[in-house]
Structure formats: structure tokens, C-alpha cells
Homo-oligomer: A and B are copies of this chain.
Amino acid sequence: MRRRRETVITKIKDVAEVAGVSAATVSRVLNNVSTVDPAMAVRVREAVDKLGYRSNGVARSLRRRRTDVWALIISDISNPFFTSVARGVEDVAQRAGFSVVLCNSDEDPDKEAKYFDVVERERVAGVILSPNLVGSDISLLISAGIPVVAVDRPLRHPVDCVRGDSVEGARIATRHLFEEGWTRPACVTGPETAETAEQRLTGYRQAFVDRGLRPAKSLVRHADFRAGMARESVAALLDSRNPPDSFLIANSTMALGALEEFAHRGLLPGRDIGLVAFDDAPWARFVNPPMSTVRQRAYEIGALAGQLLLERIQGASGELELEPKSELLATELVVRASSRRASTSTA
């Protein structure tokens, strides 16, 4: 037990005194304003070092009436897709001199609303948001004049949005299953309220139409985006009268549920059953057999969202308001063993 060490806080004024200049000059030096005598700048910097002065960001933000902070509000931080998005956002922000704070809303509208509240109060410079499933109300941010960019899922409000091309991804994945020789691919997708889930279903159906087939309703199941319910859906499909011989699964977490059910029944993907899942999770290539996926360019989605936010922030000083952009990034089919059918004959 010892006494708490008192922390001395040096202010800009202290630096000014030591350097023998005014506080204004110190501020100018610290902010690299051109109109400053080099000799003085040196004296100021010496004083800063000597005192260990550190500027107070809070006071700075108050005076400048803006911050250099972005809020990245993510609906599920444990989803590897979003961690990659975050990296993309961070890199862009960093280069532009902004810092990023991550907020995990956990698909919980209340938590999300709470974050809207604080980031608005803290006057963040901008928000990048992956909306929750039921649809987020960002009017609080809009009326505060805070630029918002949506990722992965669109918003009601007219704001920029960046996502992967789910329709095309699902279509190509399903076509691939057909081309491998599977004849009855099923689709286990997310809830109807999720735009992303619906788009993946649409792409799946298009692949049927492409081949002149009618997509069977009995081959489609809606689940939440979690593993447990996905497993049940897979089980139900396998137990149906006319069971599928292959699966398109709407995300990587749900794929875990599918894998579990397959293992439970002794079905080996790529031999007994076909499997492609959205999102190229790190573990996808490590499971047995390696899992085919639809890879979204998650990092690029984040980076592009960052770019758009940057434009909004910088454009805020200008006269004109840009129309909201909606960007769709190409997805990529990653073929591994789980979707193969040829292996049956070679085995």
C-alpha cells in the first residue's frame, strides 16, 4: 500500500511559458502551421519534450468542433467476414489520419441503438455500419449530420452501401454444383428479413432457371444465421421425401451446423454429398474434406466503405450533396473437395 501518485497534467500554456512564446504559437507548431519561425518551432519542441507535454484531444475536439474518429459498428465481431472488413476500414482511416473505434452490436438492436447514441454524442466524424437483421434506424446520426456508410446489408435511409454480390455468388456456386454432377442442390439461407439472405436465395434460383429448371420450393429452408438452426434445416431436408444431394449454405457459421449433421450421418462431403458455403472462413480449408466456399472480398468491402466515408466527410465542406452510391463487389468461388462429385468414381 502506497499513496497514489499524483499525475501532473501539462497544458499548452505551460509549454508556452517554458519556450518563452505564446500559447498560440505552441498550437501552431504542434499543428504544423506554415507561418512559424523555424527557430521558435525548435524551442517549442524542446519545451514539449522537456515537459512531456501531450495534447488534450478532448479540448481539441471541442474547439475544432469535430473529431478524427470513425465508429465502425459491427453486427457480429466473431464473424471472420467482419474482422476482415474492419481491417480494410482501418487501413483507409489510418492513411487519412482518422482512428477507428470498433463497436460490437452483437445483432442486438438495443446495443446498436446505444452505440448510435454515444457516437453521436461524442461527435464522431463518421460511421460505418453493418446493420442488424431487423433493420436499423440511423435517423439520429443523419439528423446530426454524421455521414454513414452501410456494409454487407443496405439501409432504408439513402446512404452509401458496399456489399458483396450475393446474387451472382450464389448463382455461380449453384451452377458449379450442377456442373459437378449434383442434381438436387438445396439452399439453406438466412431469415427472410435479411436482404443478404434473400439475395443468396435469388442467385440460387437463377442457377436453376439458367438450366431451364424450376427451382423446387421443397429444397429451400430459411434459418437464422447460426449453426444450430442450420443443422436442423439440413436434417429436415435430408429426411424429406425427395432429399437433396448437395447444399448451398448461406454463411460459414451455418456451414458448421451442416458439417456436424453430415458427420453425424456418416456423410462425407465431396463423396456422399455436395457442399458449398458462403464466406471463406479461415477454417474452411482445414476441415475434412476442405470446404468449397464463396469468398467475399471482405477487406476490399471495408476499404471501399472507408473511401466512401472519406468522400462524404471531406465533401461535407462543399456545396453539393452526392447521391448515395451502392457498390457491389464481385464474389469468387473457391472450389475445394467438398463440392466435388467426380471423386466418387475415382475412389
Give a binary string over A51-79; 1 marks a CB under 8 Å from any B CB, 0 the rest.
01011111101100001010000000110
Instruction: Assess A122 versus B57: contact at CB under 8 Å? Given A80-B78, A286-B260.
Output: yes
Instruction: Assess A90 versus B118: contact at CB under 8 Å? Given A4-B320, A4-B321, A58-B67.
Output: no
- Contact call B54/A58, Cβ cutoff below 8 A: no
A53 to chain B, nearest CB (A): 11
**A18 in the interface (beta carbon within 8 A):** no
- Contact call B316/A288, Cβ cutoff below 8 A: no
**A5 in the interface (beta carbon within 8 A):** yes
Number of chain A residues close to chain B: CB under 8 A: 63
- Contact call B288/A144, Cβ cutoff below 8 A: no
A155 to chain B, nearest CB (A): 17
- Contact call A58/B61, Cβ cutoff below 8 A: yes
**A145 in the interface (beta carbon within 8 A):** yes
**A323 in the interface (beta carbon within 8 A):** yes
A253 CA to B260 CA, complexed, in Å: 20
Residue from B59, B69, B103, B287 in contact with A259 in the complex, judged by beta carbons closer than 8 Å: B287
A87 CA to B256 CA, complexed, in Å: 22
Chain B residue, CB-CB nearest to A287: B287
**A22 in the interface (beta carbon within 8 A):** no
A81 to chain B, nearest CB (A): 10
Contacts of A101 in B (CB 8 A): 101-103
Contacts of A5 in B (CB 8 A): 145, 321
Instruction: Assess A121 versus B83: contact at CB under 8 Å? Given A7-B144, A283-B283, A320-B1.
Output: no
**A153 in the interface (beta carbon within 8 A):** no
Please report which residues of chain A, range 9-67, place their CB below 8 angstroms from some CB of chain B when the two chains form the complex.
52, 54-59, 61-62, 67
Residue from B57, B103, B120, B283 in contact with A256 in the complex, judged by beta carbons closer than 8 Å: B283
Chain B residue, CB-CB nearest to A321: B4
Give a binary string over A74-97; 1 marks a CB under 8 Å from any B CB, 0 the rest.
000110100100110010001000
**A202 in the interface (beta carbon within 8 A):** no
Chain B residue, CB-CB nearest to A122: B57
A99 CA to B4 CA, complexed, in Å: 25
Can you name 11 A-B residue pairings with CB atoms under 8 Å?
A1-B321, A3-B319, A4-B320, A5-B145, A57-B118, A57-B121, A77-B86, A101-B102, A253-B282, A263-B289, A283-B287
**Chain A to chain B: the 8 pairs with minimum beta-carbon distance, closest first:** A7-B145, A101-B101, A102-B102, A57-B121, A256-B286, A78-B83, A57-B122, A58-B61
Known: A1-B320, A2-B321, A256-B283. 8 other contacts (CB 8 A): A4-B316, A54-B120, A57-B122, A58-B58, A69-B122, A78-B83, A257-B286, A259-B288
